[in-house]
Structure formats: structure tokens, C-alpha cells
Structure 1
Amino acid sequence: MKKLISVIMCIVLLAGSFAISASAEEKLSYLVLGDSIAYASGVKNAQEACYGKIVADTNGYEYSNYAVPGHTTTNLINRLSDETVLEAVKNADIISISIGGNDFLMNNIVGLMFDSIVKNDYSKFDAIEESFYENFSRIIDIINENNADAVILMQTLYNPQSGYLRAPYQQGADRINSAIKRYAENNPGEIVIVDVATALGDAPENFAADNIHPSVKGNEIIADVVLEKLCELKLGNATDAVISVKGQDVEIPMIFAEMFNIYGVIFHYISVVYNFVMSIF
């Protein structure tokens, strides 16, 4: 009888040790949502070399990326009704979000540039900020309704522009970032802000040839700040990024690369004429 009990105890202990071992080896699930920044549209081999993949490879996470270039907060709300995406949300331990840039870039950008550069009127950005805040709140609500335990990392929006477009673009970025910070203050513990804007700064090499998206180097910088934040949260133990596949920067014709700057120059000269005419009348 004692031998039988001993055998049973050994089996129980072994089973327990296997369970502990299996539990210890379980990987955290890392999900990326958002727009072309999260997709890494500035990188040719985006799926292999985007910042999300770098973060996942560095910390050994299970990884999925459902970001869509061009998406606004409204699009992301709708995307969260997709069964596949929603299932990924339910299973995620960590969710990285980059969203907001298209909320003003896709919102009559020509009219915004005209008002801001020509008329020095930034009032339309106020409505964009409030719309973003409302939509972003809904996005977080949907995530929490389906997975209250997930850690949500929200990235700040950077400014890749120079010349005459820098000021209006900065207004857009500032409004989005202000709304993100306001949400965090009004809802403590709901999101963790990752300050991508400060990390990228205004160094040209951090941005792709399209003058909008992070370059390969920019993606590596974003990965670094995300990894640092995950270490702070005790959700990762590495800050030295693992680059499994080296990224390749996108290449586009010069005319398209300079399109935003050309718009800026055009609107600048329109503003000179406009202000001259207004001074007469």
C-alpha cells in the first residue's frame, strides 16, 4: 500500500512539475492595431521588419498585426466588429495602437492647409480633436468589453514635416496627443502612453521618402521605446532589439516624395497674396 501511495505521489508531483513548466513556457500574445504607422508603410518588407515584429521577436511574444493603412479612428471602430480581429483582441495580453494621424490627414486636408497657412486659422482642428477623443474612447471601451485584462499601449503622434507644412501638421499632432493625454488623465489605468513623438523627433533619417511614415530606422526607434515601456511594466525583459530581418526603406518618385512640400510652398505664396489683398481692403 505504501509503495502504491508513493507511486501515486510521484505521478502527482511529476504532473505538477510538467504543468508549471508548460505554464512558464506560455508566450504572451502581442497584438498591433491601427493605421499605416502600425502597418509600417515606410518599410518595403513591412510584415517582417515593422516595429511590432521587432518587439515580438525580442520578447518572444505570439504576434499578430491587424493594422490597415489609411484607417481613421472611425475605421478602427468598424474593424473591431470583424470576428477575426475581435478574437485577436480577446486573446491578447498586450495591445499596441497607433491611430489618429488620418483623422486630420483624411479630413479635407486641403481645406485645413488653406485655413492654417493662408488664414492662420486653426479652429477646425478643435473639432478634429473632440471627434478623435470620442472615437478613441469608444475604441478602448470595445477592447475592455472583450478583454478587460489586456494592457493597452497607445502611441503619441509625431510630426514628419518640414518647411511650411510643419506648423499645421504640428497643430494636428498636438491635438491628437492632447486628446490621448486627456483620456489617460480622465481614465487612470486604462491606457499606457508610449511617447513615440519625442523618440522620433524631427531627424529626417527617421522618416521614409514619402515624408509621412517612419523609415526602417524610425521603426527600430519605435520598437526601442515600446520595449523600454514593456520592461517598465514587467511584461518584457529585453531592451536590446532583436532584428530578425533587416528592413528595406520604401522608394518612391521624387515628385511624390516632395508633394507635401510643394503644397506647402503653394499655400505659402497664396497666403502672401491673400494677406496683401486683405491689407488693402
Structure 2
Amino acid sequence: MKKIVGILFIVLVICLVAYVFQAVGEKNDQRVMAFGDSLTYGKGDQEGEGYIDDLKQKTNDSDSDKKVQFWNYGIKGQETDGVINQLEDTEINTKLDKADTFIVYIGINDLINSNGGNLKKIHDQKINDGKKEYVEHIDTILSLLLEKNTKADILVIGLYNPNKEDMKLENHINNYNSALQERVDKDNRLKYIPTNDLFQNKDKEEYFSDEIHPNEKGYQLITNRILDKYNFK
């Protein structure tokens, strides 16, 4: 009987030590919370979950004890008002102070829907009107994150034009990105990361899965750009 008790005690100690080491490890991990639409969700990548999955693999592909956890809150079809609703949801709102870094990649659906739901014909005035609301929503999103978390960096990912031959759309994408850059410049915890140049002179069939979303190869371009501009560890 004493032998059994002794074995159980040893097992209990081993479990306790393992738990402590795991807890310490998780405490030292970097935590990244990503908000966005289908691009953050990873639509179009048949092999994984888009740039977030790529970031997870590449930031943890080392012998470092410090790991990076990614919490992906991207939702297909989401606009900026949807991100605001997420940030105000109790389940997410109470976790915001746990993050070391935020990623905000949102806006293409705002632009598309302000244009009437597609990009077949560009309506300048409709997109310009929609941009005003977009700018207000972006300011709300970033202000909420800055308020709820006083230490985390916030990566703001710029939009890209999926139809490079459409110069009218290109102008609107540049205007949206300029608005993002202007907001980012107001706080030193915000960092703007451009993506529009990544697909310049790229074969659409090679880098996209459909009219809007990149494939695995396209997402890798975004991943590499983020890692080139920001060190998660």
C-alpha cells in the first residue's frame, strides 16, 4: 500500500512540475490578436489559414523557448462595423489587455459594399461617401485597442488592389491607404504595413484564388511583408 502511495505521490509531483513549466511558458509567450475579414480568416488558401497560419509557423519555427500564440478573429465578409462589435463583445473585450500585439486588416468589404456590392463598375462618389464612414470606424477600432491595452503594438495592414489594370479602383485603394497611414501616424504604437505594391506586375492566376482573395502563394507575400516590417519576439 505504501509503495502505491509513493508512486502516486511521485506522479503527482511530476504532473505539478509539468503544469508549472507549462504555465511559465505560456506566460512568456507572445500573444497576437488578429481582427479582420476573409483575408485574415484565410479564405482562398487551400493548404492552411492564410497569412495568420503562415505567421504562426514562421515565428515558431526556431529553437527559441519564447513562442508566439495567434488568436484569429477574422470573419468572412466582415466590415469595420463588425470589428467594432467584436471589440465590444464581453468575451473578446475582457481579453484585449492580454495581447502583446494586435493585427488589424480590414476595409476591402467596406469599399466593395459602398460601391454596390461588387467591383465591376467603379462609382467614385459612392466609394468616396463610404470612405468617410470607414475612416470613422477605423478611428474607433484603433482608439478602443489603445484604450483597452496600454502596451501592445498595433499593426495596421494596408489594402491592395486585386484588379491592377483598373486605375480608378487603384486611386480609391490609395486613398483608403492614405487615410490609414494618416491615422497610424498619430500614435507611436501603431505601425502601418503596406501590401498594395506586393501584387504589382504579378500574374493574377498565379497569386489569387478568385477575384479578391490570394491563394497560398499570395498569402505568403503578405506574411513575408509583415515579418519584414515587424519582429514579434
Displacement, 1:85? Answer: 2.4
- Look up the match of 2:172: 172
Q: Does 1:91 align with 2:93?
A: no
- Look up the match of 1:35: 37
Equivalent pair of 1:39/1:46 in contact (CA under 8 Å): no
Displacement, 1:199? Answer: 2.3
What SS does structure 1 have at the residue aligned with 2:230?
helix
What SS does structure 1 have at the residue aligned with 2:104?
strand
1:151 to 153, 162, 186: 153
Question: Number of residue pairs matched?
Answer: 204
Q: Which amino acid aligns with 1:193?
A: Y
- Look up the match of 1:211: 211
- Look up the match of 1:82: 89
130-139 vs 169-178, which moves further: 169-178
- Look up the match of 1:198: 197
What SS does structure 1 have at the residue aligned with 2:136?
helix
> Greater helix percent: which structure?
1
- Look up the match of 1:13: none
Deviations along 1:109-153, one digit per CA (max 9) or x if unpaired, are 26985564xxxxx23332222211111000011111211211100
What SS does structure 1 have at the residue aligned with 2:114?
coil
What SS does structure 1 have at the residue aligned with 2:154?
strand
Displacement, 1:108? Answer: 4.2
Q: Which amino acid aligns with 2:213?
A: H
What SS does structure 2 have at the residue aligned with 1:77?
helix
Give RMSD over aligned pairs: 2.6
What SS does structure 1 have at the residue aligned with 2:45?
coil
Report runs of 4+ in structure 1 exceeding 3 Å deviation. Answer: 22-25, 110-116
- Look up the match of 1:26: 28
Equivalent pair of 2:43/2:213 in contact (CA under 8 Å): yes
d(CA) in 2 for partners of 1:181 and 1:206?
29
The TM-score, its normalising length taken from structure 1, stands at 0.65
Q: Which runs of 5+ in 1 are unaligned?
A: 1-17, 117-121, 237-281
- Look up the match of 1:225: 225
What SS does structure 2 have at the residue aligned with 1:80?
helix
Deviations along 1:36-75, one digit per CA (max 9) or x if unpaired, are 111111113443xx21122122223011101001111111
| Aligned counterparts, 1:23-172, within 5 A | 26-47=28-49, 50-60=50-60, 61-109=68-116, 114=121, 116=123, 122-163=124-165, 166-172=166-172
Q: Which amino acid aligns with 1:76?
A: V
d(CA) in 2 for partners of 1:40 and 1:112?
21
What SS does structure 2 have at the residue aligned with 1:76?
helix
d(CA) in 1 for partners of 2:213 and 2:86?
22
Equivalent pair of 2:115/2:127 in contact (CA under 8 Å): no
Q: Which runs of 5+ in 2 are unaligned?
A: 1-19, 61-67
Displacement, 1:202? Answer: 4.3
The TM-score, its normalising length taken from structure 2, stands at 0.77
Equivalent pair of 1:30/1:56 in contact (CA under 8 Å): no
Q: Which amino acid aligns with 1:133?
A: V
d(CA) in 2 for partners of 1:35 and 1:133?
17
Question: What is the percentage of aligned positions where both structures have the same residue?
Answer: 23
Equivalent pair of 1:80/1:86 in contact (CA under 8 Å): yes
Equivalent pair of 1:159/1:170 in contact (CA under 8 Å): yes
Larger Rg: 1
d(CA) in 1 for partners of 2:55 and 2:117?
36
Q: Which amino acid aligns with 2:162?
A: P
- Structure 1 residues 25 and 205: alpha-carbon distance in aligned structure 2, compared to 1, 3 A threshold: farther
